[in-house]
Structure 1
């Protein structure tokens, strides 16, 4: 599960309206508006997550089908509710997690910007380091909340497939997982998620920053502070960079996601309690190295769309959450 992160303005551009720091936000509006808009965004992308998850499960009969065919198969057998399995649990359960993620992100970014203020380095580098550190810290904190939610949602997504246990709703998932494995069963894949998603977050933002930098330069925006892009152009550049970052990240992180998904949803591989090594060996035995890219198409689409919509949505949330009457000292621009 991806963590929402701050929009970074193009290096060399003094765009006050796009760089809205923590002290300029109305915190209540920020969390309420954020919860509403990110829930709507999740609803649009949830079907791709369901398709991807079902393609990654062993014995599903869907692993070698194209994503569009899996989508049609789900619609044919389960109707529209089938492509939204687990969404209610994900939407409601994510609300506290979003507050935790957004708050830790913004507070840690603000602290890093202040801590690095006196260092002798380019401003773009300083902002990049602050955002990267904030994204990594926010991701680590959020994992403690989102991993159990991920386990529950993914088990609901794969209901009825071979090797899975039928559960009557999210509470039944929790009850059966705890009964079978104890509380630690809800944290299957936690170490893998925490260890891999933090570098993945750095990869995402690195690709995003590089793509945005190249795009702005190709459009002729360098260090001329008098030349500022329109809001539409700014959003277009950020959205494009977000899409590129999501696409690049999906290529590298899909194998890890495949192992994590199977580890979280399968009950038994015939060799005792599943582990990362056992799951990886089983995947290699079944389908070779290409098995690690099961569900790549839907995941590629999901992450590309997520990168685009997340950037645009997050920018809108911050604009709508600016304090109505900021004090004069709060108007300083952090480039």
Structure 2
């Protein structure tokens, strides 16, 4: 069927959205894994800097993001910016497969669910994308949390009094020996409370902001005039930045608590309330926003890169 005929009565912004049922799942997972791994390589150092800022104590608390970055390069060189990377990249593939599957299936179901309510396009998108992000993040935590616990310990190894490990296997063995398998899920509740709402807020902000931007550009109800690829990428990138800003501001405090809880020594197991009290005592309420800059940059850059790659990938592998 001719593409022009098929899309002539569809608002032009919707021509950039691909139905999950039409995608070649094998290509999505294989090619997507490669693309997302590349994005992870590029942005991983930001996660290391953010994590170190969040757990800093003593003199290290006086360093900002750039000073922390320079200190890592001075002490460990470029490899220091990739501590725990092997562990993260190993768990990235199954985590992404679970995440993308839950995301798209929930989004499709949610859109059908809210359609009868005749809500505005931005509101429908916010609800459907928010529920999809919440579902995807919650489902992927079973794989992600152990990876996160191990990688964060590697990121801060030898820093601010934290133990240093030989590698991911060494960390896992140490945790299992002292706490059992459940030790790999330390902070699981907080992780779900951090990443599930974070994912929900990100996808809701992205979905609604995209509709608002398309409306401002006159494409929301413009039938038959497909926007250029450059304009599509620009709108997606802008939506990703907006989503990153909203998400980082809303979720950084709980992310800081989660990170501190996960990197604590295996023999020292403070309660969440104790971590909160110590953080307030040391720095006041502003301490909850330690690492906000790197988290905003990471959330925006990762989200923007991921969504542009994913949207392009979806269109590339969708059968026409």
TM-score in same-fold range (> 0.5): yes
Q: CA deviation at 1:72?
A: 0.9
Equivalent residues of 1:86, 1:153 under 8 A apart: yes
Report the alpha carbon displacement of residue 141 of structure 1 after superposing the two structures with TM: 0.6
Contact map agreement 2:205 2:243 (CA 8 A) in 1: yes
User: How far apart are 1:14 and its partner, in Å?
Assistant: 3.7
1:146 counterpart residue number: 144
Distance in structure 1 (CA, Å) of the matches to 2:59 and 2:119 = 53
Where structure 1 has 5 or more consecutive residues not aligned to the other structure, the ranges are 1-11, 327-335
Partner of 2:281: 285
Deviation sequence 1:156-177 (CA, Å, 0-9, x none): 1111123422221111111111
- The offset of 1:320, in angstroms, is 2.6
| Alpha carbons 1:55, 1:64 under 8 Å: kept | no
CA contact (8 A) 1:208 1:242 kept: yes
2:183 to 182, 185, 192: 185
Match of 1:77 among 72, 75, 80: 75
Query: Structure 2 unaligned runs (5+)?
Result: 1-9
Contact 1:58 1:262 in 2 (8 A): no
Distance in 1, Cα, partners of 2:29 & 2:91 = 15
Aligned to 1:51: 49
Q: Deviations over 1:178-210 (max 9, x none)?
A: 112222211111111212332222222232234
SS state at 1:62 partner: helix
Q: CA RMSD in A?
A: 2.1
Q: In 1, are the aligned partners of 2:129 and 2:204 still within 8 Å (CA)?
A: no
Aligned mates of 2:219, 2:18 — CA distance in 1: 21
SS in 1 for 2:164: coil
- Post-superposition Cα deviations, 1:26-60, rounded to whole Å, max 9, x if no partner, equal 11110001100001001111011000111111426
Q: Following superposition of structure 1 onto structure 2, how do residues 299-318 of structure 1 map, counting pairs within 5 Å? A: 299-318=295-314
Residue 161, structure 1, aligned to residue 159, structure 2: yes
2:130 to 101, 111, 132: 132
| Residue of structure 2 equivalent to 1:331 | none
Is the 1:60–1:161 contact (alpha carbons within 8 Å) kept by the matching residues of 2?
no
> Structure 1 residue 121 and structure 2 residue 152: aligned?
no
**Separation of aligned partners in 1, 2:308 and 2:241:** 11
Q: Give the structure with the larger helix fraction.
A: 2
Q: Corresponding residue for 2:316?
A: 320
Question: What SS does structure 1 have at the residue aligned with 2:62?
Answer: coil
Offset, 1:153: 0.5
Q: How many residues align?
A: 310
Q: Deviations over 1:230-256 (max 9, x none)?
A: 121011011011111101211121111
Measure, in 2, the Cα distance between the counterparts of 1:15 and 1:287: 46
Partners of 1:239 and 1:308 within 8 A in 2 = yes
Match of 1:108 among 103, 106, 110: 106
For residue 159 of structure 1, give the secondary structure of its aligned residue in structure 2: coil
* 1:128 CA displacement: 4.0
Which residue in the other structure is 2:235 paired with?
237
Question: TM-score, normalization: structure 1?
Answer: 0.86
Instruction: Indicate the larger mover: 121-130 or 73-82.
Output: 121-130
Where does 1:190-209 land on structure 2 (aligned, <5 Å)? Answer: 190-209=188-207
Question: 1:216–1:112: structure 2 CA closer, same or farther, 3 Å change rule?
Answer: closer
Give the Å deviation of 1:150: 0.3
- Aligned residue for 1:300, secondary structure, equals helix
Q: Aligned pair in 2 of structure 1 residues 156, 100: CA closer, same or farther (>3 Å)?
A: same
Report if the CA contact (8 A) 1:189-1:263 is conserved: yes
| 1:262 alignment partner, one of 260, 263, 266 | 260
Distance change (3 Å), C-alpha of 1:200 and 1:41: same
1:219 pairs with one of 217, 227, 230: 217
Distance 1:173 1:221, change over 3 A: same
